[in-house]
């Protein structure tokens, strides 16, 4: 798709764009500190306050809800030495799936045992995170006492763990998750702080979730410091899950995993950048950074293709690209439209836990990933196209 201009400060790459999503993006783009413009990605869909699949540059202000409640959510992938033929010949894939499900806590309330947090690798990661929190000036335990047990847990919704193969048959280990409950609580607190400040200063907004924090205030830097810590937690969470996934796969294959290539990238985050002659905060809510040559990961929905890409550094997109397929149907609407039989048909040939809990994650509930990638042709270059062999999700 050729990029289109939807407003004075809004550019759109989505050929499939629901009207309420367009309206939401227009509202956000009209905030007075948006500069130079908001970039709407091909997977854009309705979100909380700001649109999921949007890149939001702001001058001396941050909208916490525009970063999202799953701070630092993103992807990690590792290219291995094996082929799909090797993996399928090693034994029943259900055995590998069950081993992964036992090693990595799944679902919204799934956390590690206390004993797991004392294992050497986990303990080292937690110590680093504790030191970073102290440097940031806050105690994660003030949000939740069990934050240490969340490291290495998946969550639910569209988070997943996959064994996939690229166009040459090479196997990649691939997963999607973020900062879990601790990141959500950090985000929710600062969204409330921003709303309270709007009320205190009699600032009227078109949407309360566009409440913002002004740079050089204590509230702004408190959010930035804690948000950066949550991003670090999300990165470490993915690294820990990948460590466990590699252990499970190695046991299944009978030899250690060769880590031939590794990519770990956020798609819910903010950071200072320079665009169009200005220093701005760029919040990517459901978008990845796509500077020229930067590797990235764009997953499809459950049962469809995913992509290993490199960025093209498109300046109009603020060096960004989509982060996935993007929902077309809400979870409630998907459950009304699709059945467990539809899901089984979509997942033919892929090992997964057969349950109606995943009906709202069926590929039909999402935009076609092929169309999303076609719309992103001037944003990224595809290096590898992955298809799923095995899929693990939380209820």
The pair phi, psi for residue 266, each rounded to 5°, is: -80, 155
1-10, 81-90, 373-382: segment of lowest average pLDDT: 1-10
As a whole number, mean pLDDT of residues 129-144 equals 97
Confidence tier at 93 by pLDDT (50, 70, 90) = very high
Helix ranges (H only) for 70-213 are 84-89, 93-103, 120-136, 147-150, 180-200
As a whole number, mean pLDDT of residues 11-35 equals 97
Residue 31 pLDDT more than 90? yes
**What DSSP letter does each residue of 52-71 carry, written as one string?**
EEEEEEESSEE-HHHH-SST
Closest CA relative to residue 168, chosen from 384, 322, 393, 341:
384
Residue 48 pLDDT more than 90? no
% of the chain exceeding 70 in pLDDT: 100
Q: Exposed/middle/buried for 48, CB within 10 Å: 0-12, 13-18, 19+?
A: middle
According to the model, what pLDDT value does residue 10 have? 98
As a whole number, mean pLDDT of residues 150-165 equals 96
Confidence tier at 395 by pLDDT (50, 70, 90) = confident
Helix ranges (H only) for the chain are 19-29, 64-67, 84-89, 93-103, 120-136, 147-150, 180-200, 218-253, 331-337, 340-346, 369-375
Q: What is the mean pLDDT of the chain?
A: 96
Over the stretch 226-251, which tens digit does the pLDDT of each residue have?
Answer: 999 999 999 999 999 999 999 999 99
Residue 95 pLDDT more than 90? yes
Confidence tier at 140 by pLDDT (50, 70, 90) = very high
As a whole number, mean pLDDT of residues 190-203 equals 98
According to the model, what pLDDT value does residue 27 have? 96
* Cα(236)–Cα(19) distance, integer angstroms: 37
Neighbours of 56 (CB within 10 A): 29
Tell me the catalytic residues.
Answer: 323
According to the model, what pLDDT value does residue 258 have? 98
Over the stretch 177-196, which tens digit does the pLDDT of each residue have?
Answer: 999 999 999 999 999 999 99
As a whole number, mean pLDDT of residues 130-140 equals 98
Residue 2 pLDDT more than 90? no
Residue 144 pLDDT more than 90? yes
Residue 259 pLDDT more than 90? yes
Q: Where are the domains of the chain?
A: 4-392
Over the stretch 351-362, which tens digit does the pLDDT of each residue have?
Answer: 999 999 999 999
Task: For residue 257, give the DSSP letter.
Answer: P
Residue 389 pLDDT more than 80? yes
Would you say the pTM of this structure is higher than 0.85?
Answer: yes
According to the model, what pLDDT value does residue 83 have? 98
Query: CA 323 → CA 33, 82, 92, 341, 385, distances in Å?
Result: 25, 26, 32, 28, 15
Closest CA relative to residue 52, chosen from 269, 211, 286, 270:
286
Check if the beta carbon of residue 265 is closer than 8 Å to that of residue 289: yes
Check if the beta carbon of residue 148 is closer than 8 Å to that of residue 117: yes
Task: For residue 97, give the DSSP letter.
Answer: H
> Reduced to 3 states, what is the DSSP secondary structure of residue 2?
coil
According to the model, what pLDDT value does residue 342 have? 95
Residue 36: how many CA atoms within 13 Å on its side-chain side?
11
* Token pair listed for 33: 């500190």
CATH architecture classification, 4-392: Alpha-Beta Complex (3.90)
Residue 1 pLDDT more than 80? no
Residue 384 pLDDT more than 80? yes
């Amino acid at each position: 798709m050729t990029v289109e201009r939807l407003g004075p400060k809004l550019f759109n790459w989505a050929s499939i764009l629901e009207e309420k999503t367009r309206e939401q993006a227009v509202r956000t783009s009209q905030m007075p500190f948006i500069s130079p413009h908001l970039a709407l990605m091909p997977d854009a869909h309705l979100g909380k306050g700001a649109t999921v699949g949007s890149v939001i540059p702001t001058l001396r202000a941050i909208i916490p809800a525009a970063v999202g409640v799953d701070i630092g959510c993103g992807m990690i992938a590792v290219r291995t030495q094996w082929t799909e033929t090797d993996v399928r010949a090693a034994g029943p894939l259900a055995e590998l799936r069950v081993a992964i499900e036992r090693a990595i806590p799944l679902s919204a309330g799934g956390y590690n045992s206390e004993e797991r947090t004392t294992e050497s690798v986990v303990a080292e990661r937690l110590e680093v995170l504790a030191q970073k929190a102290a440097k940031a000036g806050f105690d994660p335990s003030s949000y939740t006492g069990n934050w240490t047990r969340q490291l290495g847990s998946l969550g639910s919704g569209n988070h997943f763990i996959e064994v996939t193969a690229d166009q040459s048959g090479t196997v990649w280990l691939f997963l999607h998750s973020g900062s879990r409950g601790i990141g959500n609580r950090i985000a929710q607190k600062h969204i409330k702080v921003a709303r309270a400040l709007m009320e205190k200063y009699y600032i009227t907004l078109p949407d309360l979730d566009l409440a913002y924090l002004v740079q050089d205030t204590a509230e702004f830097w408190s959010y930035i410091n804690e948000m950066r810590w949550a991003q670090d937690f999300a990165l470490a969470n993915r690294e820990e899950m990948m460590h466990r996934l590699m252990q499970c796969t190695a046991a299944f294959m009978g030899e250690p995993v060769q880590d031939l290539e590794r990519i770990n990238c956020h798609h819910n985050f903010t950071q200072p950048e320079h665009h169009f002659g200005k220093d701005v905060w760029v919040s990517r809510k459901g978008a990845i950074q796509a500077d020229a040559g930067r590797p990235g990961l764009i997953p499809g929905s459950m049962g469809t293709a995913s992509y290993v890409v490199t960025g093209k550094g498109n300046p109009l997109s603020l060096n960004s690209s989509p982060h996935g397929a993007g929902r077309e149907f809400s979870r409630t609407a998907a459950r009304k439209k699709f059945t467990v039989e539809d899901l089984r048909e979509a997942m033919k040939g892929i090992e997964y836990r057969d349950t109606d809990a995943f009906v709202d994650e069926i590929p039909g509930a999402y935009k076609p990933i092929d169309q999303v990638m076609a719309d992103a042709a001037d944003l990224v270059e595809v290096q590898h196209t992955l298809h799923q062999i095995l899929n693990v999700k939380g209820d």
